[in-house]
Every structure is written in structure tokens, then in C-alpha cells.
Structure 1
Amino acid sequence: MRVIAGSAKHLNLKTIEGMDTRPTTDRIKETLFNMIQTDIPGCRFLDLFSGSGAIGIEALSRGAAEAVLVESAPKAAECIRENLKFTHLEEHAELMQTDVFQALSRLRGRGAYDFIFMDPPYNHELEKQVLEALRGSDLVDDYTVIITEASLQTDFSYLDSLGYQMKKYKKYKTNAHVFIEKKDA
């Protein structure tokens, strides 16, 4: 796995051994960032369930002003620290080694993020729980784009009832990126 573009382009990132994480492939990561690249420079990026940190690091490499990476697993958090140091992007990054819901609580009062990316373990409805936690939070405003990496079987029919709408759905062979925003008032 490598950084696709920007200041850390072509640098190889470490990943965690085993099946505890599911790194986003370079091809899928490249497709994702091609869709959002014009909005990345200067943005505030929140990466939930960060794994190796590859998504947050890609955002920083492409010019995000800041990125908060949230990961509770100690081995994965150490991997993120090493990747941030190796790519020389640690200055604009904050690693929160904690549960995602505790992190969301601690981040309150810091203002809205331009992008909130989450890649939770599949088929546990964690994306729904995160969206419920973000509802009414100052971490999300009318311009925030929430991107969820999910299995193809993940049901998002509840979005409307939580005050969200699906902006875009990008399907891959085994998973999808779901672009979500607050529903128009």
C-alpha cells in the first residue's frame, strides 16, 4: 500500500498483520480521491476506524490542512504513528487512540469537518451508530461530506429518518463508498 499523490507520493505505508483490518486497496483509494480531490486542499479531514491511517495520510499528502485519525487498536495506532513519521505528515495530524464514540465526544466544540471518512468493521451497523452520534453535532455542517466504506450488503435506507441523504454511491467489486450529507432543510 502506498500514498498515491501529493507531498508523500509513492511512499509505501506499513499495514497491520492479520485480519483485524481491511486496508483500502490503492486502486479504490485512488478512485475515491479522484472524486474529491478538488476539495481536499485546505480541508479539515476526520478519519474514523483509521486502520493503518492510509486514508487520512492520503488527505494530508494532497494538502488537507489537518487530519484527525481515530483508531482504538494499539497495534494499528502504532502503525499510524510510524506511517505519519515516515511520510513527514505528523505536524498536521492528530492521532486519537480511543474508541470512535469517545473520540466524537472529545472532538465536540472544535467545529465542523469538511470530510468525515469511516471504514468500520462490516455488517455491525457501526456506520449507523456513527451517523446517529453525528446527528446534531457541531462536527457536521451543511457542507460536510461523510464518506462510508461499506460492504455491498449494507443497508442505508434509514438515512432520511436520521436527517441525511445519499449524495453519491460508488460501487466496487466487493464494497462501496457511500457519500452522505445532511438533508436539505
Structure 2
Amino acid sequence: MRIISGKAGRRHIRVPGSVARPSTDRLREALFSILSERVNEAQVLDLFAGSGALGLECLSRGATSCVFVDDSRESQQVIKKNLNDLKLDGGRVAGGDVFRMLKSDRGKYDLIFADPPYFKQAGATNFVQQLLESETLPDRLADGGLLIVEDPPSNRRGVLHGWQLLDQRQYGGCGILFYQRPSSG
């Protein structure tokens, strides 16, 4: 896995052994082609960060800062090593539970990425649904900001209170959903 573009472009990054489904280069290339200029000088939040590939790509492309959140100690260490190896400034690793972090954090972010584990079996936690129903997540998004969620295309999401679905794309077995808070006017 590698950084696609920017000051760390083409450099390889470490991936934790526990990450079962890292975002592919193709998917990240398409995603950042869509986001384009939104990344430059953005404040970024990378939830369920894994290797940190999405946030690292943002920092490489000129984002001002990125907070990486993952509850896996292995992922936290890998992200720290990636930040150091790539010599990217503005990254901060926050360990622990994503939902607790959202409640305690008071930051506002221009881009929030969420790539949670997919809901695969009965009784397993559906992190995407839980995230989209979170009362605190909309408060973390800056005015005009985007929430970008990776979710299997088989999960059809209807209208969700507190979110406006702007776009959805499919790349192989991965769906990308682009949300923002509805305008208040």
C-alpha cells in the first residue's frame, strides 16, 4: 500500500496485520480525485483509521491536521511509524473507542473519514449504522464539511435524520457515501 500523491506520493506505508480490509490504491485514487481541492488546508478526522491511509493521504496533499482514531494498539503504533517515516506534520493519534472520542472531542473538521469494520454476521455491531445515528458526530463536522463513509454497497441507506446524502459511488465490493449536514436555511 502506498500514498498516491502529494509530498509523500508513491511512498509505501505500513499496514497493521489486524487490518483485514485496507482501502485499495484504486479506491483512494478515485476518492481523492473527487475530493480534489477540499483536502488542501483541511482539518481532518480519520475514524477507524487502521493504517491511517486516508488521513496520511490528506496530510500528504496539504491538509493542516489529521486526528487518527483507532482502538487497536497495533494500528496506533503503525500510524505513528507511518507519520514518522513519511515526515508528515499535523498528525495526532488518539487511541480508544471512536464513539467515546466523538463525545469528548470538541473539534470541528472539514473532512471526516469513517472506514469501520463491515457488519458481517447477525449479532455483530453495525458500526456504520451506529455512527450515522450518533448524536455527537454532526457536531464534529465544520460548516460545509463532508463525512465520507466506506460501507458495503449491499447496505442500502435511506434518509437519515441529521444527514444529507450528496453522492454515493461503488468500487468493487466497496461503497463510498458522501454526507453533509443539511443547511439550516
TM normalised by structure 1 equals 0.91
Task: Supply the AA of the counterpart residue of 2:5.
Answer: A
Residue in 2 that maps onto 1:131: 132
Question: What CA distance in whole angstroms lies between the structure 1 residues aligned with 2:179 and 2:138?
Answer: 15
Displacement of 1:171 after TM fit? 0.8
Instruction: Work out the CA distance in 1 between the residues paired with 2:138 and 2:170.
Output: 28
* CA RMSD, 1 decimal: 1.6
- 94, 101, 104: which one pairs with 1:103? 101
- Does the CA-based 8 Å contact 1:135-1:163 persist in structure 2? no
1:37 partner amino acid:
S
Match of 1:3 in 2: 3
The 1-side partners of 2:135 and 2:43 are apart by 16
Between the aligned residues of both structures, percent identity stands at 33
Which is worse superposed, 96-105 or 63-72? 96-105
Structure 1: how far apart are the matches of 2:66 and 2:154?
A: 29
| d(CA) in 1 for partners of 2:98, 2:171 | 26
Following superposition, the deviation at residue 165 of structure 1 comes to 1.4
- Indicate whether 1:49 and 2:48 are aligned: yes
CA distance in 2, matches of 1:151, 1:137: 22
Q: What is the CA distance between 1:4 and its match in structure 2?
A: 0.5
Q: Who is 2:114 aligned against?
A: 118
Matches within 5 A, 1:30-49: 30-49=29-48
Q: Does 2:173 correspond to 1:174? A: yes
Q: CA deviation at 1:72?
A: 0.6
TM-superposition CA deviations, 1:78-124 (whole Å, max 9, x none): 111111110111x301100111012112212x2x2111000001124
**1:131-150 counterparts in 2 under 5 A?**
131-135=132-136, 137-150=138-151
2:82 counterpart residue number = 83
Query: For the residues of structure 1 that align with 2:79 and 2:17, how far apart are their CA atoms?
Result: 13
In the alignment, the residues of structure 1 paired with residue 142 and residue 58 of structure 2 have an alpha-carbon distance, to the nearest angstrom, of 20
Contact persistence 2:167–2:178 (CA under 8 A): yes
- 1:92 pairs, out of 90, 93, 101, with 90
Alignment partners' CA distance in 1, 2:3 and 2:91: 16
What 5-or-longer segments of structure 1 have no aligned partner? none
User: Is contact 1:120–1:127 with CA below 8 Å preserved after alignment?
Assistant: yes
Matched, 1:157 2:158: yes
TM-score (norm 2): 0.91
Q: Quick check: 2:2–2:13 contact (8 Å CA) kept in 1?
A: yes
Distance, in Å, in 2 between the alignment partners of 1:73 and 1:136 is 21
Map Cα deviations across residues 16-56 of structure 1 (whole Å, 9 max, x no partner). Answer: 225x4311000100100010021111010100000000100
**Gap runs ≥5 in structure 2:** 120-124
> Are the equivalent residues in 2 in contact too, given 1:46–1:67 (CA < 8 A)?
yes
How many residues are aligned here?
179
* 3-state SS, counterpart of residue 115 of structure 1: strand
